[in-house]
Amino acid sequence: MKFHHIGIPTQNRLKDEVYLRDLKMYVSGFGKSPYGVEWNRFEDDAPYPDLVKTIPHVAFEVDPIVLTLRDFENAVRGNSFNTENGKLLHLFFLSADSPSPELSVLEKYKSPSEEYELKGRVLYLYAPGGVGRSKLVTKVQKAMGVPLTARNWNTIQKLISLAGMQKTHQEGGHHA
Protein backbone atom coordinates (compact mmCIF):
# COMPACT_ATOMS: atom_id res chain seq x y z
CA MET A 1 0.00 0.00 0.00
CA LYS A 2 1.31 3.43 -0.94
CA PHE A 3 0.04 6.81 0.28
CA HIS A 4 -1.90 8.67 -2.43
CA HIS A 5 -3.56 11.76 -0.92
CA ILE A 6 -5.42 13.36 1.95
CA GLY A 7 -8.92 14.22 0.77
CA ILE A 8 -10.63 17.17 2.43
CA PRO A 9 -14.29 17.77 1.59
CA THR A 10 -15.34 21.37 0.96
CA GLN A 11 -18.50 23.22 -0.04
CA ASN A 12 -16.52 26.12 -1.52
CA ARG A 13 -15.78 26.52 -5.22
CA LEU A 14 -12.02 26.67 -5.74
CA LYS A 15 -10.41 28.53 -8.63
CA ASP A 16 -8.33 25.61 -9.89
CA GLU A 17 -10.83 22.80 -9.32
CA VAL A 18 -11.30 20.18 -12.00
CA TYR A 19 -14.68 18.51 -12.57
CA LEU A 20 -14.70 14.71 -12.77
CA ARG A 21 -18.04 14.07 -14.49
CA ASP A 22 -18.13 10.29 -14.00
CA LEU A 23 -17.42 10.72 -10.28
CA LYS A 24 -19.77 13.70 -9.85
CA MET A 25 -17.16 15.68 -7.96
CA TYR A 26 -14.60 18.45 -8.25
CA VAL A 27 -10.99 18.08 -7.12
CA SER A 28 -8.37 20.70 -6.46
CA GLY A 29 -4.81 20.81 -5.21
CA PHE A 30 -3.64 17.27 -5.93
CA GLY A 31 -0.14 17.30 -7.36
CA LYS A 32 0.45 20.83 -6.11
CA SER A 33 0.62 20.18 -2.40
CA PRO A 34 3.87 18.76 -1.01
CA TYR A 35 1.73 16.82 1.47
CA GLY A 36 -0.71 15.35 -1.04
CA VAL A 37 -3.72 17.41 0.04
CA GLU A 38 -6.68 17.22 -2.34
CA TRP A 39 -9.83 19.29 -1.86
CA ASN A 40 -13.06 17.49 -2.82
CA ARG A 41 -16.38 19.16 -3.63
CA PHE A 42 -19.22 16.76 -4.37
CA GLU A 43 -22.38 17.17 -6.43
CA ASP A 44 -25.55 16.76 -4.35
CA ASP A 45 -26.31 13.44 -6.05
CA ALA A 46 -22.74 12.07 -5.96
CA PRO A 47 -22.97 8.35 -5.12
CA TYR A 48 -20.86 8.38 -1.96
CA PRO A 49 -21.72 7.89 1.70
CA ASP A 50 -22.15 11.11 3.69
CA LEU A 51 -19.05 10.13 5.65
CA VAL A 52 -16.91 10.43 2.51
CA LYS A 53 -18.57 13.72 1.53
CA THR A 54 -18.09 15.35 4.94
CA ILE A 55 -15.07 13.90 6.76
CA PRO A 56 -11.40 14.19 5.66
CA HIS A 57 -9.82 10.90 4.66
CA VAL A 58 -6.45 9.40 3.80
CA ALA A 59 -6.30 7.48 0.51
CA PHE A 60 -3.84 4.81 -0.51
CA GLU A 61 -2.95 3.17 -3.81
CA VAL A 62 -3.63 -0.54 -3.71
CA ASP A 63 -3.11 -3.36 -6.16
CA PRO A 64 -6.38 -4.37 -7.77
CA ILE A 65 -8.00 -7.68 -6.96
CA VAL A 66 -9.76 -8.95 -10.06
CA LEU A 67 -12.81 -11.12 -9.48
CA THR A 68 -14.93 -12.82 -12.11
CA LEU A 69 -18.62 -13.58 -12.28
CA ARG A 70 -17.71 -17.21 -11.58
CA ASP A 71 -15.81 -16.15 -8.41
CA PHE A 72 -18.94 -14.40 -7.12
CA GLU A 73 -21.24 -17.27 -8.09
CA ASN A 74 -18.96 -19.82 -6.40
CA ALA A 75 -18.84 -17.68 -3.26
CA VAL A 76 -22.63 -17.51 -3.19
CA ARG A 77 -22.89 -21.29 -3.57
CA GLY A 78 -20.34 -21.75 -0.76
CA ASN A 79 -22.25 -19.61 1.74
CA SER A 80 -23.81 -21.31 4.76
CA PHE A 81 -24.97 -18.18 6.63
CA ASN A 82 -28.34 -16.45 6.89
CA THR A 83 -28.85 -14.00 4.00
CA GLU A 84 -32.16 -12.49 5.11
CA ASN A 85 -30.41 -9.21 5.93
CA GLY A 86 -27.62 -8.98 3.36
CA LYS A 87 -25.94 -6.06 5.11
CA LEU A 88 -24.97 -8.35 7.98
CA LEU A 89 -23.08 -10.89 5.87
CA HIS A 90 -19.73 -9.86 4.41
CA LEU A 91 -17.54 -11.84 2.06
CA PHE A 92 -13.80 -11.19 2.11
CA PHE A 93 -12.17 -12.24 -1.16
CA LEU A 94 -8.50 -13.12 -0.72
CA SER A 95 -6.11 -12.27 -3.56
CA ALA A 96 -4.35 -15.64 -3.09
CA ASP A 97 -4.53 -18.68 -0.89
CA SER A 98 -3.61 -17.70 2.65
CA PRO A 99 -0.32 -19.45 3.43
CA SER A 100 -1.11 -19.71 7.14
CA PRO A 101 -4.36 -18.04 8.20
CA GLU A 102 -4.25 -17.00 11.84
CA LEU A 103 -7.80 -17.89 12.82
CA SER A 104 -6.83 -17.53 16.49
CA VAL A 105 -6.52 -13.77 15.87
CA LEU A 106 -10.09 -13.70 14.56
CA GLU A 107 -11.30 -15.75 17.53
CA LYS A 108 -9.67 -13.28 19.91
CA TYR A 109 -11.57 -10.30 18.46
CA LYS A 110 -14.83 -12.03 17.52
CA SER A 111 -17.90 -10.86 19.43
CA PRO A 112 -20.22 -13.54 20.85
CA SER A 113 -22.79 -12.91 18.10
CA GLU A 114 -20.34 -13.01 15.19
CA GLU A 115 -19.63 -16.10 13.13
CA TYR A 116 -17.09 -16.65 10.36
CA GLU A 117 -15.94 -19.40 8.04
CA LEU A 118 -12.96 -19.58 5.70
CA LYS A 119 -13.58 -21.55 2.51
CA GLY A 120 -10.71 -21.42 0.04
CA ARG A 121 -10.18 -17.78 -0.92
CA VAL A 122 -13.38 -16.50 0.70
CA LEU A 123 -13.87 -15.59 4.35
CA TYR A 124 -17.55 -15.30 5.25
CA LEU A 125 -18.36 -13.05 8.20
CA TYR A 126 -21.83 -12.88 9.69
CA ALA A 127 -21.94 -9.83 11.97
CA PRO A 128 -25.46 -9.29 13.41
CA GLY A 129 -24.21 -6.22 15.31
CA GLY A 130 -22.95 -4.66 12.06
CA VAL A 131 -19.41 -4.55 10.69
CA GLY A 132 -19.00 -0.94 11.83
CA ARG A 133 -18.92 -2.17 15.42
CA SER A 134 -16.91 -5.32 14.73
CA LYS A 135 -13.41 -5.51 16.18
CA LEU A 136 -12.80 -8.65 14.14
CA VAL A 137 -13.15 -6.77 10.82
CA THR A 138 -10.07 -4.66 11.54
CA LYS A 139 -7.97 -7.83 11.98
CA VAL A 140 -9.02 -9.85 8.93
CA GLN A 141 -6.28 -8.67 6.55
CA LYS A 142 -3.52 -9.31 9.07
CA ALA A 143 -4.97 -12.69 10.04
CA MET A 144 -5.22 -13.83 6.40
CA GLY A 145 -1.75 -12.56 5.47
CA VAL A 146 -2.71 -11.62 1.90
CA PRO A 147 -4.39 -8.61 0.28
CA LEU A 148 -8.17 -8.88 0.19
CA THR A 149 -11.36 -7.01 -0.60
CA ALA A 150 -14.76 -7.30 1.05
CA ARG A 151 -18.36 -6.77 -0.04
CA ASN A 152 -21.65 -7.39 1.71
CA TRP A 153 -24.13 -9.98 0.47
CA ASN A 154 -26.43 -7.39 -1.14
CA THR A 155 -23.56 -5.94 -3.16
CA ILE A 156 -22.47 -9.40 -4.30
CA GLN A 157 -26.02 -10.11 -5.50
CA LYS A 158 -26.12 -6.79 -7.38
CA LEU A 159 -22.73 -7.45 -9.01
CA ILE A 160 -23.87 -10.89 -10.14
CA SER A 161 -27.04 -9.38 -11.59
CA LEU A 162 -25.12 -6.64 -13.43
CA ALA A 163 -22.53 -9.08 -14.75
CA GLY A 164 -25.29 -11.41 -15.92
CA MET A 165 -27.00 -8.58 -17.81
CA GLN A 166 -23.69 -7.62 -19.43
CA LYS A 167 -23.01 -11.24 -20.42
CA THR A 168 -26.52 -11.57 -21.92
CA HIS A 169 -26.06 -8.32 -23.83
CA GLN A 170 -22.66 -9.44 -25.23
CA GLU A 171 -24.18 -12.74 -26.37
CA GLY A 172 -26.87 -10.83 -28.26
CA GLY A 173 -29.72 -11.88 -26.00
CA HIS A 174 -32.19 -9.82 -24.09
CA HIS A 175 -32.50 -9.59 -20.33
CA ALA A 176 -35.92 -8.89 -18.87
| Whole-number average pLDDT of the chain | 90
Q: What is the tens place of the pLDDT at every residue in 31-59? A: 888 889 999 999 999 988 888 899 999 98
Query: Do 41 and 101 lie in a common domain?
Result: no
Quote the CA–CA distance of 94 and 111 in Å, as a whole number.
Answer: 22
Reference 168, options 72, 65, 69, 74; nearest CA is 69
Largest Cα–Cα separation, the chain: 53
CA nearest neighbour of 144 among 109, 89, 90, 104: 104
Domain with 124 in it: 69-165
Residues 42, 74 within the same domain: no
Q: What is the pTM of this model?
A: 0.69
Phi, psi (degrees; rounded to nearest 5) at 134: -75, 125
Domain count for the chain, please give it: 2
One domain for residues 31 and 77: no
Note the helical H segments in the chain.
50-54, 69-78, 103-109, 140-144, 153-170
Looking at the fold, whether 155 and 75 belong to one and the same domain comes out as: yes
pLDDT in tens, the chain (176 residues): 788 899 999 999 999 999 999 999 999 998 888 889 999 999 999 988 888 899 999 988 888 899 999 999 999 999 999 999 999 999 999 999 999 999 999 999 999 999 999 999 999 999 999 888 899 999 999 999 999 999 999 999 999 998 877 655 455 555 44
Of 14, 36, 61, which closes a domain?
61
